[in-house]
């Protein structure tokens, strides 16, 4: 009965033992276990290990023994449940692979992430018989993934994986966002490529799907699907061996580089622009260098050519590469080298210089080059122009100009001759006419009233003499007989002459300041100048008017005189002749002092009047000025240096009172080559009671001079054939140191200024001269008070 | 194409992908039997697009001309199914299936036949099991092989006439260490597509209830 009693107990023990054994087994299993499960599809039975039981909060013993398959879904997060159920349904219906990630609720209320990987095991008919697999806790991995996701999201970095040959690409959420796509794990490659700018490289190049992608980094533009914005993205990645197939996977990241690209782009543009500018200026420089027709050279401070432009060949004939490296001085024309050395130094020391130097052409001839240099640091840049031809032309031009001047002079001489001929003919007519009347009267023995004709002839001849004087004054070769002249008296004495000249239509006013100084000038010339001005004034007033003659004093200091003024500072007597006539335009004023300028019809004047006055004033050390406006009349002022001599009588008064002196038998040697002049002089002197020796030239005169005979005075023409008057005089004085000499001259070229020509004891008288003047001069020189 | 696929919600797309996977798994199993080698087939992505999009989608990707096995299907949802390969991939698949022993000339000779047979297995397996899962059956026509560009295959130039859509599946094959890519396209009109969507919803419902 004990058996019966023990039966159930033994069974219990057996059961306990079994259970213990199983537990032991399970513990052992657990050591290397994997959360595995086995789902028998046909038997609808589910078995799982202890770890699976633990992770899903189920009784391990129950699961080990086998339970209903719906226990697979225990503890799955409600939100994930449907997905898992569909996937499981797929496996049961024939899908091969199961792979899902989902959340399992934990006992403490939280949840863990697991990945369930499984597959269907098929029976002989190929129908799914069992569904086996295991869970892996991927919570930690998920957390890392999450961190990675956040990092990617924060960093804007998208990731992808691509298996070579496939049409799809697995992508991260962030990658989808970069492309403006809805988050998705798997995308057709073309979806991404379709957003990429057609000119840029695609993410994955599908034109050769079976080949490896270029592993390099690429950058491309995309049109973001969400907002159409264009962005720049960069791809980086590398190939890894695919675990599941024998193929390769391309794993990479994509990130936004728009900002960097824009910065880069604007930098590049700026760079390009700069580079282009630089290139352009370089090209321009090159063009200038290559195409310059002038020489461009670079010289170092040692005077060696560093570079020369191709134009060197055209201008100087040497190949530029032969010149480069040679010494500058060797290229210079030998005669110019000394100068060139100092020029080179100058160019090296100064920033800018201009140098003209001859260089040697390849053919051995010189070329004149005008250089402009510019120094920068230790280089001298020089620009050279060939001025050889220019200089030749300049010389030719100067010759032509000289020829032209000569032609103009000849023309002027012609004009002058014409004018003088007119005036001279008038005067000669007076002389010849009067002489022929006198001749006829004498023949008819009607000698009464002859004086009238003689006076007329004399007057005409004097006028002719005054004309030649004026001509000489104009040519400034008339020697001025400067002395102190009382201008007040001179002007006043001329009043009657003015009245006669002006006629009744013109009112004359003479306004002479009482304090007017005396002037240092030639009285005759001054008289002539004033008369000339009065006549001009008259001619300017054909319908009458007022003519005013004033005298005054003026003193100029340095400060009073404008720059370029010809007057020297000092005291001047001013003689002003004003009319109320037609006046002159500025153009006329500008030319009024030019020789031969005249407003009168041709043949009615020499056009020398004002120019002679100007010449006279200048020669006196003064000046002449014109003040005029058209229709407002004209004032011409003569500035004559004031004289500081006092009490001297004017030449005029002296002349008036001249009494012909008589000689006392003194011996005078007359040397004159003109027979008529010599005869006149000799006759006059003899008449005056002198003893006279005659000679035609120096050769005839020398015997008298060297002889023992008495000679008290030598009267000689200056322009003698052979020995001239001055040379003769020197011989004479050397032989007879006490001898005085009186020169007669018609054209005292050498005697423009008396003082330079005449030594003490020498005097001069100008042809034509009045016999009285000659007598006066001779007497004066023979006075014992005037010894040599 | 995002817009094209939004007519299925996430769960429906999951379910459709799963259905397709069941289909290709069966097809792979059938292939395995044929070649006695490991054949892996996976469908990583499913899209519903217009015919024109489908044409340009393959056209953009494949530079060479295409070869396709085509079968009409008729049932609760009807249309035309195409298994499409780039021509060289098609030949690779045939080579993978018939083995390396066959001469190139022979291979070319029987290419169409072999392709038609392979295509028939895959398409039948795929569509048949899908229909099965949806508790319906489809009548499949005999396969024929077509060559040409994607526009020709999808009659894309005529697609403006009717509002037909393409259920477009990318397939990655791995046969005998060869990676082969291909596409399955199911061209359906809108009513068929609506019907399919309805059937998917039903399927999800069923799955949820079954395992509760």
**Domain boundaries of chain A, sorted by first residue:** 20-137, 155-256, 292-386, 392-458, 479-651, 658-782
Q: Does residue A553 carry a pLDDT above 70?
A: yes
Q: Does residue A155 carry a pLDDT above 90?
A: no
Give the pLDDT of residue A1.
44
**Average pLDDT rounded to a whole number, residues A185-208:** 81
Q: Which residues of B touch A126 (CB under 8 A)?
A: 29-30, 33
Residue A508: closest CA among A552, A550, A539:
A550
Over residues A673-710, the pLDDT tens digits come to: 877 778 878 888 888 888 999 999 888 999 998 888 88
Quick one: CATH architecture of A20-137? 2-Layer Sandwich (3.30)
E strands in A73-153: 97-105, 111-122, 128-137
pLDDT band at A77 (very low <50, low <70, confident <90, very high): very high
Angle at B169 between CA B32 and CA B108, to 5 degrees: 55
Interface residue B133 vs chain A (CB under 8 A): yes
- Distance of residue B79 Cα from the nearest chain A Cα, in angstroms: 24
pLDDT band at A6 (very low <50, low <70, confident <90, very high): low
Query: Residue A739's Cα: distance from chain center in Å?
Result: 71
Look up the CATH number of the domain holding residue B123. Answer: 3.40.1550.10
Residue A526: closest CA among A440, A627, A363, A638:
A638
Interface residue B5 vs chain A (CB under 8 A): no
Which residue would you say has higher pLDDT here, A561 or A643?
A: A643
- Distance of residue B39 Cα from the nearest chain A Cα, in angstroms: 11
Probe site for chain B from A82, A86, A211, A247 (most B CB atoms < 10 A) = A86
Class (C level, CATH) for A658-782:
alpha beta
Burial B190-200 (b: 16+ CB within 10 A, else e): eebbebbbebb
Indicate the helix (H) or strand (E) that contains B167.
strand B164-175
Contact A166 B44 (CB under 8 A): yes
Over residues A308-352, the pLDDT tens digits come to: 988 898 888 988 888 888 999 999 999 989 888 888 888 888 888
Q: 10 Å Cβ neighbour count for A455?
A: 11
Class (C level, CATH) for A292-386:
alpha beta
Which residue would you say has higher pLDDT here, A649 or A448?
A: A448
Taking CA atoms, A402 is separated from A198, A395, A417, in Å, by: 83, 11, 22
Over residues A380-424, the pLDDT tens digits come to: 889 998 888 888 888 888 888 878 777 776 776 666 666 667 667
Q: Does residue A80 carry a pLDDT above 80?
A: yes
Give backbone dihedrals phi and psi of A548, rounded to 5 degrees, phi first.
Answer: -120, 135
Interface residue B19 vs chain A (CB under 8 A): yes
- Distance of residue B33 Cα from the nearest chain A Cα, in angstroms: 9
Give the pLDDT of residue A595.
63
Give the pLDDT of residue B70.
92
Give the pLDDT of residue A51.
83
Q: Which residues of chain B have pLDDT under 50?
A: 1-6
Q: How far apart are CA A704 and CA A291, in angstroms?
A: 84
Class (C level, CATH) for A155-256:
alpha beta
Over residues A494-514, the pLDDT tens digits come to: 787 777 677 778 888 998 888
Contact A89 B179 (CB under 8 A): no
pLDDT band at A39 (very low <50, low <70, confident <90, very high): very high
Give the pLDDT of residue A2.
44
Q: How far apart are CA A51 and CA A40, in angstroms?
A: 19
- Give the residue from chain B lying closest to A225, CA to CA: B2
For residue B80, the enclosing domain spans: 2-211
Contact B2 A90 (CB under 8 A): no
B160 DSSP 8-state letter: T
Q: Which residues of B touch A163 (CB under 8 A)?
A: 172, 179
Q: Which residues of B touch A127 (CB under 8 A)?
A: none
Q: How far apart are CA B86 and CA A126, in angstroms?
A: 30
Probe site for chain B from A120, A166, A246 (most B CB atoms < 10 A) = A166
Over residues A207-251, the pLDDT tens digits come to: 776 677 677 788 899 988 778 888 889 998 888 876 666 667 888
Instruction: Count the domains in chain B.
Output: 1
Q: What is the DSSP string of A729-777?
A: HHHHHHH-TT-EEEEEES--GGGSSHHHHPPTTEEEEESS--HHHHHHH
Helices (H) and strands (E) in chain A, counts: 25, 28
**Average pLDDT rounded to a whole number, residues A166-195:** 81
User: Percentage of chain A with pLDDT > 70?
Assistant: 86
Angle at A332 between CA A326 and CA A337, to 5 degrees: 115
Q: How far apart are CA A443 and CA A451, in angstroms?
A: 16
Q: Which residues of B touch A70 (CB under 8 A)?
A: 211-212
Q: Does residue A94 carry a pLDDT above 60?
A: yes
Give the pLDDT of residue A503.
73
ipTM greater than 0.90: no
Interface residue B185 vs chain A (CB under 8 A): no
Nearest to B207 among A86, A168, A170 (CB): A86
Contact A193 B15 (CB under 8 A): no
- Give the residue from chain A lying closest to B30, CA to CA: A126
Two tokens, residue A106: 């934990």
CATH topology of domain A479-651: Heat Shock Protein 90 (3.30.565)
Q: Does residue A470 carry a pLDDT above 90?
A: no
Q: 10 Å Cβ neighbour count for A357?
A: 21
Over residues A740-787, the pLDDT tens digits come to: 899 887 655 444 555 566 777 888 887 777 777 788 888 888 876 555
Residue A77: closest CA among A117, A132, A37, A114:
A114
Probe site for chain B from A71, A90, A164, A181 (most B CB atoms < 10 A) = A90
Q: Which residues of A touch B202 (CB under 8 A)?
A: none
- Give the residue from chain B lying closest to A210, CA to CA: B179
Q: Contact A238/A252 with Cβ under 8 angstroms?
A: yes
Contact B204 A90 (CB under 8 A): no
Over residues A518-550, the pLDDT tens digits come to: 888 888 778 878 888 888 888 888 888 899 999
Contact B170 A166 (CB under 8 A): yes
Give the pLDDT of residue A29.
56
Nearest to B170 among A82, A167, A247 (CB): A167
Fold equal for A155-256 and A292-386? yes
Give the pLDDT of residue B60.
60
């Amino acid at each position: 009965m004990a058996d019966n009693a023990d039966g159930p107990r033994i069974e219990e023990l057996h059961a306990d033992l079994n259970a213990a054994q199983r537990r032991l087994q399970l513990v052992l299993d657990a050591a290397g276990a994997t959360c595995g499960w086995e789902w028998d599809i046909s038997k609808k039975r589910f078995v799982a290990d202890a770890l699976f039981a633990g992770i899903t909060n189920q009784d391990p013993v129950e699961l080990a023994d086998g339970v209903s398959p719906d226990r697979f879904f225990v503890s799955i997060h409600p939100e994930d449940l449907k997905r898992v159920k569909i996937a499981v349904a797929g496996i049961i219906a024939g899908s091969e692979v199961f792979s899902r990630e989902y959340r399992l609720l934990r006992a403490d209320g939280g949840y863990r992430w697991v990945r369930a990987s499984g597959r269907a095991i098929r029976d002989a008919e190929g129908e799914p018989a069992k569904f086996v697999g295991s869970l892996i806790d991927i919570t930690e991995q998920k957390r890392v993934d999450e961190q990675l996701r956040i990092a990617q999201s924060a960093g804007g970095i998208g990731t992808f994986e691509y298996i070579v040959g496939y049409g799809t690409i697995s992508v991260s959420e962030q990658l989808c966002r970069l492309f403006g796509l809805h988050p998705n794990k798997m995308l057709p490659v073309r979806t991404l490529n379709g957003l990429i700018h057609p000119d840029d490289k695609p993410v994955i190049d599908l034109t050769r799907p079976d080949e490896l992608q270029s592993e390099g980094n690429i950058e491309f533009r995309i049109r973001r699907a969400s907002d159409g914005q264009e962005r720049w993205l960069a791809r980086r990645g590398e190939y890894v061996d695919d675990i599941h197939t024998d193929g390769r996977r391309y794993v990479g990241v994509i990130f936004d580089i728009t900002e960097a690209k824009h910065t880069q782009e604007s930098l590049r543009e700026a760079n390009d622009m700069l580079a282009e500018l630089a290139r352009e200026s370089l090209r321009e420089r090159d063009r200038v260098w290559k195409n310059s027709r002038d020489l461009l050279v670079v010289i170092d401070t040692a005077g060696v050519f560093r570079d020369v432009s191709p134009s060197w060949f055209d201008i100087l004939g040497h190949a530029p590469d032969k010149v480069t490296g040679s010494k500058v001085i060797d290229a210079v024309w030998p005669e110019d080298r000394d100068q060139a050395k100092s020029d080179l130094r100058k160019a090296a020391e100064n920033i800018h210089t201009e140098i003209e130097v001859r260089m040697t052409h390849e053919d051995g001839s010189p070329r004149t080059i005008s250089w402009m240099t510019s120094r920068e640091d230790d280089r001298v840049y020089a620009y050279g122009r060939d001025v050889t031809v220019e200089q030749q032309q300049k010389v030719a031009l100067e010759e032509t100009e000289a020829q032209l001047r000569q032609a103009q002079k000849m023309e002027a001489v012609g004009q002058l001759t014409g004018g003088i001929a007119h005036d001279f003919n008038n005067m000669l007519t007076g002389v010849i006419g009067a002489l022929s009347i006198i001749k006829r009267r004498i023949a008819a023995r009607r000698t009464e009233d002859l004086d009238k004709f003689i006076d007329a002839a004399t007057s005409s001849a004097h006028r002719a003499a005054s004309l030649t004087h004026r001509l000489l004054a104009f040519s400034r070769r008339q020697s001025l007989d400067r002395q102190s002249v009382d201008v007040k008296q001179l002007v006043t004495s001329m009043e009657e002459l003015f009245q006669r000249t002006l006629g009744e239509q013109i009112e004359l006013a003479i306004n002479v300041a009482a304090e007017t100084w005396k002037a240092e000038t030639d009285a005759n010339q001054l008289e002539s100048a004033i008369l000339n001005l009065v006549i001009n004034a008259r001619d300017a007033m054909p319908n009458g008017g007022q003519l005013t003659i004033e005298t005054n004093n003026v003193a100029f200091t340095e400060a009073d005189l404008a720059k370029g003024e010809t007057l020297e500072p000092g005291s001047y007597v001013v003689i002003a002749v004003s009319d109320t006539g037609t006046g002159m335009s500025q153009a006329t004023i500008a030319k009024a002092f030019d020789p031969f300028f005249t407003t009168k019809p041709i043949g009615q004047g020499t056009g020398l009047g004002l120019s002679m006055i100007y010449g006279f004033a200048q020669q006196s050390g003064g000046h002449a000025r014109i003040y005029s406006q058209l229709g407002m009349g004209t004032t011409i002022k003569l500035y004559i240096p004031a004289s500081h001599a006092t009490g001297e009588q004017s030449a005029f008064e002296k002349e008036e009172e001249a009494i012909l002196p008589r000689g006392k038998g003194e011996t005078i040697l007359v040397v004159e080559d003109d027979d008529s002049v010599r005869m006149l002089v000799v006759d006059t002197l003899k008449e005056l009671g002198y003893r006279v020796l005659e000679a035609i030239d120096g050769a005839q005169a020398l015997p008298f001079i060297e002889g023992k005979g008495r000679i008290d005075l030598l009267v000689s023409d200056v322009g003698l054939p052979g020995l001239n008057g001055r040379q003769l005089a020197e011989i004479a004085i050397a032989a007879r140191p006490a001898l005085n000499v009186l020169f007669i001259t018609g054209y005292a070229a050498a005697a423009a200024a008396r003082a330079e020509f005449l030594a003490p004891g020498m005097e001069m008288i100008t042809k034509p001269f009045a016999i009285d003047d000659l007598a006066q001069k001779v007497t004066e020189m023979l006075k014992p008070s005037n010894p040599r | 194409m995002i817009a094209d696929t939004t007519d299925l919600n996430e769960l429906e797309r999951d379910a459709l992908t799963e259905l397709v996977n069941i289909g290709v798994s069966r097809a792979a199993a059938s292939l395995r039997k044929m070649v006695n080698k490991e054949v892996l087939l996976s469908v990583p992505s499913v899209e519903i697009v217009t015919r024109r999009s489908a044409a340009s989608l393959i056209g953009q990707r494949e530079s060479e001309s295409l070869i396709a096995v085509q079968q009409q299907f008729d049932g609760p949802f009807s249309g035309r199914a195409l298994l499409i390969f780039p021509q060289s991939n098609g030949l690779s698949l045939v080579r993978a299936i018939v083995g390396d022993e066959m001469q190139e000339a022979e291979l070319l000779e029987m290419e169409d036949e072999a392709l038609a047979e392979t295509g028939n297995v895959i398409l039948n397996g795929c569509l048949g099991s899908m229909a099965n899962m949806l508790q319906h059956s489809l009548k499949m026509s005999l396969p024929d092989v077509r060559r040409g560009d994607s526009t020709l295959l999808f009659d894309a130039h005529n697609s403006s006439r009717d509002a037909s859509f393409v259920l477009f599946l990318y397939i990655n094959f791995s046969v005998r260490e060869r990676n082969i890519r291909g596409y399955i396209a199911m061209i359906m009109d809108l009513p068929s597509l609506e019907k399919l969507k309805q059937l998917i919803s039903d399927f999800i419902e069923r799955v949820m209830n079954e395992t509760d």
